[in-house]
Amino acid sequence: MTTDTNPKPEQIHKPSYRFDPPDMVQVNLLRKLSPSQRIQLMLDARALAVGLIRGRLSKRYPDLPPEKLNLKVLEALSHAR
């Protein structure tokens, strides 16, 4: 019995997820921003994400001191993709 090292296209596993098409109105709005405005938008989005993670963790670990909570936030961010 031989094994085929080159699978046929129909045998290749395709991911089960698909991305939504880009919202062209949003894309055009983002294109009009200056580089500094884009960076600020990215920093604001990051601050929102960190705040959401911090809130989730503070509810899960209500007695955790702020220093340890910060470490948990950093750990959660290091696992984010």
Averages of pLDDT over each 10 residues, the chain, 81 residues: 64 72 93 96 96 96 95 91 67
For residue 46, which amino acid is it? R
pTM over 0.85: no
CB 76 within 8 A of CB 53: yes
Q: Which DSSP symbol is given to 63? A: T
What is the rounded end-to-end Cα distance, in angstroms, of the chain? 41
User: Residue 64's pLDDT is what?
Assistant: 95
